[in-house]
Amino acid sequence: VQASTAPGGSLSKDLCAREFEALRSCFAAAAKKTLERGC
């Protein structure tokens, strides 16, 4: 709890969430390409 209330705690959390979102969208795009190719 203390880590989340510390200055910059929410910032690093947001950065991690954004990175995860980008990774997920990238993975989704790759999976879509594979499906379209009929692999």
The answer to whether residues 13 and 4 touch, using CB atoms and an 8 Å cutoff, is: yes
CA 15/CA 10 separation, integer angstroms: 9
4-34 residue pLDDT tens: 555 666 778 888 889 999 999 999 999 998 8
pTM of the model as a whole: 0.52
Q: Residue 37 has what pLDDT?
A: 80
Query: In the chain, how long is the greatest CA-to-CA distance?
Result: 49
Number of residues that this document lists for the chain: 39
Tokens of 13: 């959390």
CA 12/CA 7 separation, integer angstroms: 10
Q: Residue 13 has what pLDDT?
A: 83
Q: With a cut of 70, say whether residue 1 has pLDDT above it.
A: no
Q: Residue 27 has what pLDDT?
A: 92
Non-local (6+) Cβ contacts of 10 within 8 A are 4
